[in-house]
Structure 1
């Protein structure tokens, strides 16, 4: 397998959201104005940032989390869950003025879901948080970003990581209406949008490998080095320096897709940090995302390295 220079000994850093998720499971999701009876519920660690951190750490990565929780019981729970995954939380602030973020998630039997997020302390994350973590960013191999915290703070973190020679991967979710400004594409190295996010970013909702390739071209044209366009059960297309291709989905039986994208990004960061080339890293990440759909929960759905290795064969 072709390798690129690795960042062994340098951490994967996640700058972003931390939530507590309350998931309700039912045969189908309710329509507006309707009540359905569920078969169970669960509370766990969530937030795209925390999910990505947990995913990379469960694989064996050295992972640091930067962000905010509230100074409350949910914040204490979130810190404990992150530590249980092996994520370092010394740069995760306890905000006395804002509650910990929460997500209320409905999951139906097919694995489809709908989510209501109350950002809480996540929306108070600022460039000051990035400045306090500047030494960490300067030594980071990979920075994982999402759009569940204020964008200006994420761009400040991205600049610090790139100044130190690291790479920045942005999961453009939730995708804003009207897409992202040109400066955002120029501030990061890679983006990993799904079909809906791709449409928001470049005006094309891909439903085939050919359309995903066209969308990836548009994303690269915006200034990215790497574009990975995900189509769920239809696979993905990736394009980067000297490498491109279509990857079909792994055959699994999904029950919960809540954190599949986050586990994909955590796996991508882990593989790139250890020196995998883009093609190998994307395949590894795809296996991580596929396995995450086979179990319930957000961060708790992240697979281990042994499980991913077994699926890859």
Structure 2
């Protein structure tokens, strides 16, 4: 009788050898490995060949093999904040001996190891995962792509309120030697202050900090008849707003119509919205500042201020 290994190993197609042997016998497991029906990619685990390239299967195999938790870039993937990569990162307690080096698996020995369950996988808490991935991306000879992923994860997590700036600062307080630490502190402050994209961070530094004007309010909330608008930058006392359009802005007709309706609703409430394209922002930042300054002066005259 041919045994249904998929039913034995479950939908992820991975199991500890000891668990599988307890259900089917060690002789059967050895025969399945020898016959190619099971692969042994890491110590102590087997996987189905058809599942071996799936990221979730590889991640679960790494966890089962090491008894650790997904961490660093792999934890970002599990949290939905990073791409699936060939290499899997897990963390184990620093008091344990690190296993022998294995292909496409990095094992980190850490203090204060903790984990939570994300879609059935043990994963480092988000704040720690962000800090660990940042240090990983900025240490050694890591490429700019890893740094871009780490930056995007921090921006998305803080912007979406999945983690707060004080919690991240708490993690950083315990990591004084973290590679790139100063840059991470700066980024967290920028996002917590209202810069919710790389363009807004750039815009705040090069366009929105207009000489002679009071500071703008980022992500200013305006109640509209059919919802709420959050303005990239605003001077609420003058009902003046600036919107920064990214390089991929208006990628669809629906998005364009949605923004036109929003701008019309703001105009009906008395708001003047200056909308700058990505091309103009990056090519003519000084000219954008002059337009903002002129509009600000005109609004002051209209409002008698």
With the length of structure 1 as denominator, give the TM-score of the two structures. Answer: 0.22
Larger Rg: 2
More helix by share: 2
